[in-house]
């Protein structure tokens, strides 16, 4: 098991560069300088933190999350890969036309009213592999933690692709469409796939991702 102490400011800068290298500014209709300026106020939220990076445990200290208000989900997924691979991620065809737009953040997720923000204390949630998704979501809520949205799940595998491994994939219960479907990210055709499963159907290879909290910037920039 690997645990590495990290400088949180340096890690934030890495994540910004990672998004730039994956064409997020262009997809958002911004220059690199404009994109960097948009997310820069968030850096102050991590500069005093002491964090460790533990991908083997399925835990991450924080993630820079870009929402669909800035970049479309259909554009984000092809910018993901498995660790050490090049085949792009994709959205499963089981999402009928217009379905992704209906999978929005639930009221309980309490998203910052911003197009980019930070997510803290992330867990991949493999303890819930084999559990009924509804039961996993209830357990996470009882712990005072929050379920991840689709965009947050994409941020996980964009910034830390090694987090997505065989038999330790994850559901994203923070985005729902008003029916029994729960979105999830798993491995298919040697690439990350965004799909969905039924809320009462357990899968031995699919856990439930969660986080401690979310924070947006209090000082302009990200809108």
In a domain, 223, yes or no: no
Q: What is the reported pTM?
A: 0.95
What is the number of domains present in the chain?
1
In a domain, 222, yes or no: no
In a domain, 221, yes or no: no
Structure tokens at 17: 């560069």
In a domain, 78, yes or no: yes
Q: Which residues contact 134 (CB under 8 A, 6 or more apart)?
A: 199, 200
Confidence of residue 220 (pLDDT cuts 50, 70, 90): very low
Structure tokens at 123: 């867990």
Q: Which residues contact 4 (CB under 8 A, 6 or more apart)?
A: 52, 53, 54
C-beta of residue 24 within 8 angstroms of C-beta of residue 54: no
In a domain, 194, yes or no: yes
- pLDDT tens digits, 139-194: 999 999 999 999 999 999 999 999 999 999 999 999 999 999 999 999 999 999 99
In a domain, 91, yes or no: yes
C-beta of residue 119 within 8 angstroms of C-beta of residue 152: yes
Domain with 69, as residue range(s), is 4-215
**146-147/210-211 β-pairing:** antiparallel
In a domain, 92, yes or no: yes
3 state DSSP class of 146: strand
């Amino acid at each position: 098991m690997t645990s590495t102490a990290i400088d949180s400011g340096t890690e934030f800068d890495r994540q910004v560069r990672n998004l730039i290298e994956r064409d997020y500014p262009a997809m958002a209709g911004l220059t690199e300088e404009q994109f960097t300026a948009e997310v820069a106020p968030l850096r102050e939220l991590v500069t005093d933190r002491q964090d460790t990076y533990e991908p083997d445990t399925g835990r991450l200290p924080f993630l820079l999350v870009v929402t669909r208000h800035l970049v479309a989900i259909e554009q984000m997924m092809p910018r993901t890969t498995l660790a050490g691979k090049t085949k792009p991620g994709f959205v499963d065809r089981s999402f009928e036309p217009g379905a992704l737009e209906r999978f929005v953040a639930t009221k309980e997720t309490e998203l910052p009213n911003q197009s980019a923000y930070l997510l803290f204390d992330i867990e991949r949630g493999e303890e819930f592999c084999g559990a009924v998704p509804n039961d996993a979501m209830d357990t996470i809520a009882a712990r005072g933690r929050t379920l991840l949205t689709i965009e947050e799940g994409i941020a996980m595998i964009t910034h830390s692709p090694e987090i997505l491994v065989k038999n330790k994939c994850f559901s994203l219960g923070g985005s729902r469409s008003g029916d029994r479907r729960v979105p999830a990210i798993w491995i298919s055709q040697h690439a990350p796939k965004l799909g969905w499963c039924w809320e009462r159907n357990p899968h031995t290879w699919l856990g439930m991702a969660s986080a401690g909290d979310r924070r947006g910037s209090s000082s302009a920039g990200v809108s």
